Structure 1
Amino acid sequence: MTEAPHPDPLADSAPTAELLEALQPILRRIVAERTLSPGKVGILRHVAETGRASTAELAAAVQVSPQAISLATRELEDLALVRRIPDETDRRRTWIHPTEAGRARLAEEALAGRSWLYGVIQDRLTPAERRALTEAIPALRKLTATPEAEPPRG
């Protein structure tokens, strides 16, 4: 009895390659519209959402080393976008808090990329293409959904 061969994940890779080729320049352009690095935006976003975070929590959330977080938060602190506050009960721990300027800058950074994207969607796509793009969004969201949220295949 012979074993059934495993399907080749790249055999039908045209949609995968085309999707990557289409998305990468869009994402690069969105990032290029921003004035802060993606890592610093990630730090600002996390502390804005949680209210505060330790460097270890930020390292896990942004997926960079604690040393990189320390450097980035120091730079954000120099820009007055975050502030460090010592823990009241454990003086070895420092919390990173967003400032009002940091929250405002986060909103500006998000708007910069969105404004460009909105403009090119309106200027370059037909109404039918805009509808097709809108209809594709739920399928794109499924690509990053947690497995528990997905219905079983079958």
Structure 2
Amino acid sequence: MSRSRSSQASTVTNTNINNVLDGGAIKSSFDFADGLAQEAFDSVDNAVDVTKSATQTALKENSHVTEEALDTNKQVIQSALERFQEQNNRSLDALAGLQGTQASNNYKLLDGIQKTIRNDNSGGATEILESQKTLYLVMGGLLLVVFIVFAFKQGK
């Protein structure tokens, strides 16, 4: 029985709805729904246009900001590279100075080693011979000066 009641209630409800919608009510409801759908699409189109415009403006503004940031970054990098180059040049100058000092010290050291070896090999005679050679050169120079002085005195 409960099944037939449900069935009867459904039939009664459908009959009442059909009675209400007859006489152009269906067309009016479709027209109303079409109007609502059209307004919804228009609203969505407007929202899309606003979003598009806002997005384009934001992209333009952000690209300007991005370009400024890239320019600033480029300037910072160039400044850092210039400072690095200056520091590198100072370091190279310091190394060149050290190399020159080291070369001079090496020459003096090598000269001292050679003299030590000569003295060891000759039993100290090399120093004496060097001293005597210097003495003879000085004595020769003095004799030449004395000779020139006597030559001028006799020539006058």
Q: TM-score, with normalisation over the residues of structure 2?
A: 0.24
Q: As a proportion of its length, which structure holds more strand?
A: 1
Q: Which has the larger radius of gyration?
A: 2
Q: As a proportion of its length, which structure holds more helix?
A: 2
Q: Return the structure number with greater relative CO, CA threshold 8 A, min gap 6.
A: 1
